[in-house]
Structure formats: structure tokens, C-alpha cells
């Protein structure tokens, strides 16, 4: 079980909470479970969601493990110039 913090735009889809607990070992599983539990997560994922694990931001490596005690934030996937 990991606690996942959500940025503002995701909070309405979980009923307003700032974080949710998810039973997931890695990012892929996290996204899968969020999609199952909260159907309106899917369009956000499509637009791009990044995951910060202990301050290191992952945009693409969905195999990355989620340590139980880690600080985890979902963030918009940023573009660059």
C-alpha cells in the first residue's frame, strides 16, 4: 500500500481527497488500479501523468518500483521548449 498525492486537477475524480492509498508495486500497476477505481483518471493519463518518487520525476519508466515508505506525487507531464 502506498500513499499517492494528487495534484489539484486529479482531486475531483477521487471525490476531493488530496491523496489516495493504492496497493501497487510499480507505476504501471498504480496507473492500472487508479484507472479501475476511478474511471475518469483515464483521460488524464492519456494527456500525460508523471510520477515523482522521493523527488525523482519519472515520465516513462513504468517498471519503476514504488517503495512502501516513498513520497509519491502524481504530476502533469510537462512539455519542453
- To another protein, the closest distance from the beta carbon of 33 in angstroms equals 20
Q: What are phi and psi of 35, to 5 degrees?
A: -65, -40
Mention every residue, 6+ apart, whose C-beta is less than 8 A from residue 45: 31, 34, 35
- Counting contacts by CB under 8 A, is residue 78 touching another protein? yes
CA distance 55 to 41: 23
Residue 36 or 56: the one with the smaller Cβ distance to another protein is 56
CA distance 71 to 81: 28
- To another protein, the closest distance from the beta carbon of 64 in angstroms equals 7
Binding mask 15-54 for another protein (x = CB under 8 A): xx--------------------------x--xx----x-x
| Residue 33 CB coordination number (10 Å) | 16
- Counting contacts by CB under 8 A, is residue 59 touching another protein? yes
- Counting contacts by CB under 8 A, is residue 7 touching another protein? yes
Amino acid at each position: 500500500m502506498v500513499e499517492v498525492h494528487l495534484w489539484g486537477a486529479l482531486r475531483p475524480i477521487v471525490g476531493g481527497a488530496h491523496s489516495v492509498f493504492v496497493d501497487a508495486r510499480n507505476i504501471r500497476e498504480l496507473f492500472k488500479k487508479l484507472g479501475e477505481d476511478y474511471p475518469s483518471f483515464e483521460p488524464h493519463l492519456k494527456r500525460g501523468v508523471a510520477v515523482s518518487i522521493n523527488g525523482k520525476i519519472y515520465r516513462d519508466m513504468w517498471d519503476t518500483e514504488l517503495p512502501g515508505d516513498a513520497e509519491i506525487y502524481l504530476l502533469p507531464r510537462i512539455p519542453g521548449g
